A and B are shown apart, each in its own frame.
Chain A
Amino acid sequence: EIVMTQSPATLSVSPGERATLSCRASQSVSSNLAWYQQRPGQAPRLLIYGASTRATGIPARFSGSGSGTEFTLTISSLQSEDSAVYYCHQYNNWPPGNFGQGTRLEIK
């Protein structure tokens, strides 16, 4: 089983600044990596797939990078609405794929 490890567990950043979230796979998942945002009390929302392709309607300040085992989600010009838990999900070994444990992003 591929293990997905996200870091940090919690990140606190001021509005207008940049947040960098990491996701590491225990073995290569190529570029088969997605990022989801989950605001409190809501369903997850697809942000990024293919490691770097933004989903429809996602602002350009969300960007994804990486391949193989190391991936990054960068959110620039942070806004209060970005406060959420962010999950990475590998679908290279699909099904079943698997998620990381999540990074909680707090806006100061």
Chain B
Amino acid sequence: QVQLQESGPGLVKPSETLSLTCTVSGNSISSYYWNWIRQPPGKGLEWIGYIHYSGSPNYNPSLKSRATISVDTSKNQFSLRLSSVTAADTAVYYCARDLHYFASGIWGYWGQGTLVTVSS
């Protein structure tokens, strides 16, 4: 059974870098595409980006190059770094796996989400 679990600081100061990790169990990270998606409190969902262990990551242009996604196959984890954060980056951050073996944009498996608040 595929399980994803986000971890990282729940509070980040403005202008600093948000860092989150997603630990995957029940599935090798050396297959499928792995995504980050976020949801500001009380609002809708926004795709941040994805990575495949063998290829370059792909990001939502709306983040203006602030996002970096990387993968650690030895730990079966992938990570998100978001630089120069502001209050607008306050959100629940989800990691998710693509349903198919290619980057389909359909997410069949999700972590439970972690709330990150940007505040001084």
Which residues in A have some Cβ–Cβ distance to B below 8 Å? 32, 34, 36, 42-46, 49, 55-56, 87, 89, 91, 94-102
Range of interface residues on B (Cβ < 8 Å): 20 to 34
Query: Which B residues lie within 8 Å of A87 (CB)?
Result: 44-45
Known: A43-B110, A43-B113, A44-B110. Is A95-B103 also a contact (CB below 8 A)? yes
Query: Which B residues lie within 8 Å of A45 (CB)?
Result: 110
Judge whether B105 is part of the interface by a CB distance below 8 angstroms. Answer: yes
Binds A, one of B7-15, B22-30, B57-65, B70-78: B57-65
Question: Are B113 and A46 interface neighbours, CB within 8 A?
Answer: no
Question: Are B45 and A49 interface neighbours, CB within 8 A?
Answer: no
Known: A87-B44, A102-B44. Is A96-B61 also a contact (CB below 8 A)? yes
Known: A95-B47, A102-B44. Is A46-B94 also a contact (CB below 8 A)? no
8 other A-B residue contacts (CB within 8 Å) besides A94-B103, A95-B47: A43-B94, A43-B111, A45-B110, A46-B108, A89-B105, A94-B104, A96-B62, A99-B44
Known: A96-B61, A102-B44. Is A43-B112 also a contact (CB below 8 A)? yes
Known: A43-B110, A45-B110. Is A94-B105 also a contact (CB below 8 A)? yes
Query: Which B residues lie within 8 Å of A34 (CB)?
Result: 105-106
Query: Which A residues lie within 8 Å of B60 (CB)?
Result: 95-96
Q: Give, as a whole number of angstroms, the nearest-CB distance from B108 to chain A.
A: 5
Query: Which A residues lie within 8 Å of B47 (CB)?
Result: 95-98
Judge whether B50 is part of the interface by a CB distance below 8 angstroms. Answer: yes
Question: Are B99 and A46 interface neighbours, CB within 8 A?
Answer: yes
Question: Are B61 and A101 interface neighbours, CB within 8 A?
Answer: no
Q: Give, as a whole number of angstroms, the nearest-CB distance from A23 to chain B.
A: 13
Contact sample, A vs B, 10 pairs, CB 8 Å cutoff: A32-B105, A42-B112, A43-B113, A44-B110, A45-B110, A87-B44, A91-B105, A96-B61, A98-B47, A99-B44
Query: Which B residues lie within 8 Å of A43 (CB)?
Result: 94, 110-113
Q: Give, as a whole number of angstroms, the nearest-CB distance from B50 to chain A.
A: 7
Query: Which B residues lie within 8 Å of A49 (CB)?
Result: 99, 106
